[in-house]
Structure 1
């Protein structure tokens, strides 16, 4: 059963791992689909961060849009998929990096990640997408 507008926005706002898909731009290749952290507040734009020179950043820039799907399997099988155009691409700020890391990791792990892992990445960009098309479902209790 499809989720209501409020249910799907609330579900998307939870910290799931997303599956980002973007057109590969090549007729003999499927879309690029990769796992990614994301952030979203109901009614706002969805945003991701990635390395400025990554393949996904280049493909998103070329396509001007992408899709993101998030799901869970307990307590019920539920998913939300959104697709929309890119509304901005800007250098990632330290505040955005910290917000994204703290969204997904507990405090001690977030501190370690920010100190030891994050510096190994190249310059980042924050890409904001305005959700335009939604698909969603809650398939009921898992028996």
Structure 2
């Protein structure tokens, strides 16, 4: 369970999502990914499930990816779609995570560091709709 720290929230304008930082085990920051449906991911740096790309999804008009910063803290993020590539600056969160968001529907994201490159296909994300009456 995470407890609020003094870090500000980071709104993602294209998706309407929000990133919050809580406190994980051993006083490490915990990245919380919130959608209109609620909390969908919690990541703590240096954990067993640490990953350069932790999540990569696309909505109807946006694409977003996030992950843990590597040693050195720099990543290059590229979203790929049919014949086009868009380089997006990654935003650093709590000195331990990165996030990148772009308007448009992309198929995959490539994240490059000084020593590694990971390419991941984006999953489709649909927010739950309120029940029809």
- What's the TM-score, normalizing by structure 2? 0.33
Looking at secondary structure, tell me which structure has more strand per residue. Answer: 2
Give the number of the structure whose residues are more often helix, by fraction: 1
Q: Relative contact order (alpha carbons < 8 A, sep ≥ 6): 1 or 2 greater? A: 1
